[in-house]
Amino acid sequence: MGLVLKYVIQTKAGTWHYRRRLPRDLAPLLRQNEFKRHLGDTKREALRNYPKVNGDFDRLVAEARRRNSAGLPAETPLEVHRMAERRAQELAGMTVMVGGRMLPGSDPEAADVIRESHLGAHGETDDVEGRAVAILSSGGKLSRPAPTIEDARKLYLKEKVGDDTKKTLELDRVFKLVSEALQSDRTLASIKREDAKEVRDHMRDGRKASSVDRYLNVVRAVINHAIREFDLAGVANPFMYLEADTKDKAEPDRDKRRPFTADELKDTTARILFLANPALQRIWQMLEGTGCRLAEVAGLRVSDVHLDHAIPHITVEWHDDRRIKNAVSRRNVPLIGNALDAAKAAVTAAGNAAMLFPAYGRPNGASSASAALGKHVRAVVTDPKVTTHSLRHLMKDRLRLAGVSKADQDIVLGHSSGSEGEKYGRGQEAMLEVAQRALKAALGIEDKRK
């Protein structure tokens, strides 16, 4: 009785093979029309290997559909090689009849039989299977392809970005521009400084210098990570120290924000307190009274608000629902005046919720709050240099005008002073007192403890 399994054929030479047509819509992406695998030289081997190979087909199709729907490119040569290495190990574990002897697939004679049997059965083979046979025939000495730009992007996505949707979209946006200037299959070792400049120039088309510099920072990080993780000794990152424009040619004033004037702040605050929802009203008052970044306030947890402390304050720190800019940004910020009242009201309104502002303490929540507050700002102030972030610039100016030292300004705003000596000897309680004194001076509130 013959072996009856779907998609299985026996060649004239007596070997068993799995052959199955790929869905027509996926064939261009996979660069093949048919999925082909060698099941073994005997019926028993074919039966044993069939479930695994049939599962490989299902996984290949499922992954191709996912990549196709997401508009992602096909596997790179390096990815194909890695899959082929795993497949070669499977082939090496097979037993092959050679001249009346049963030899493992890893034996050179057996490897030759597998290669000839495979080519005789399939002719043109798919990338993975063909390379797996080549690896087996070479005794595992077939060198890996050099990593490409696309390999670098995928590695960074996997190891650094993960499930962060916002960062994934930014990475895709940046490397779409890179691939438009350079082919994504260019090897990292082949990219020179002139190539990097071509990418920079392509990015500059219709974009602000600040945006291009941000994009170039992403490219630098991706290439640096790839050079390190792929062990590319001697390969330099051609994007290092590459800027959107030279400093003397740049036009920084066009991109800078400015603080609110007194009248602009008064009118904008009045509009927000009259028209915005209660959460946005409280966020606005806390921003004005602390100088924090919007994401720092929108991402606060109720547990980050310390109202019973001798100096009521909020703790700005990294947690799963909010990423702060850097380690220096981790700090305690005193709550004074309207900011304290807003924080108290927010804690009450939050109830049993973990986040202080449940509507905005989520992924992209700060962006939603920024957009909503931005509409109120723009309804009052038409100057594009004035945004919600201008409250932070205003606090910086207030601190300066109040005669607060640069080191103490940095404690309030979460900036690096660049001097370890300024921080030496200052515990958290001492820094909180310093920050409170600085904020009271900036806001014109008398310090009764003097």
Q: Smallest Cα–Cα separation from 37: which of 118, 139, 112? A: 118
Q: What is the mean pLDDT of residues 77-81?
A: 79
> What is d(CA 243, CA 250) in angstroms, rounded to the nearest whole number?
10
CATH code for the domain of 382: 1.10.443.10
450 domain residue, yes or no = no
Q: 268 and 395 share a domain?
A: yes
Q: Are residues 246 and 273 in the same domain?
A: no
Query: By the 8 A CB rule, do 395 and 404 touch?
Result: no
pLDDT at position 73 is 56
State the residue range of the domain holding 28: 8-137
Enumerate the β-bridge partners of residue 9: 17
Question: Residue 107: what pLDDT?
Answer: 61
Whether 229 contacts 155, CB under 8 Å: yes
What is the 3 state secondary structure string of 324-335? CCCHHHCEEEEC
Domain ends where: 221, 252, 283?
Answer: 252
In a domain, 448, yes or no: no
Tell me what pLDDT residue 202 has.
84
* Total domain count, the chain: 3
Evaluate whether 432 touches 332 at the Cβ level (below 8 Å): yes
Flag whether pLDDT at 1 surpasses 50: no
336 and 274 housed in the same domain: yes
> Does pLDDT of 123 surpass 60?
no
Same domain, 319 and 192: no
Q: How confident is the model at residue 431 (pLDDT cuts 50, 70, 90)?
A: very high
Q: Is 144 inside a domain boundary?
A: no
Q: Residues 31-47: what's their mean pLDDT?
A: 81
Domain membership of residue 18 (yes or no) is: yes
pLDDT digits over 204-235, tens only?
Answer: 877 888 889 999 999 999 999 999 999 998 99
Residues 288, 270 share a domain: yes
Between 83 and 114, where is the model more confident? 83
Look at residue 371 and tell me if it is in a domain: yes
* Average pLDDT of the segment spanning 175-179: 87
pLDDT tens for 308-325 read: 999 999 999 866 555 544
- In a shared domain, residues 110 and 26: yes
- Domain check: are 35 and 107 in the same one? yes
> What's residue 110's pLDDT?
59
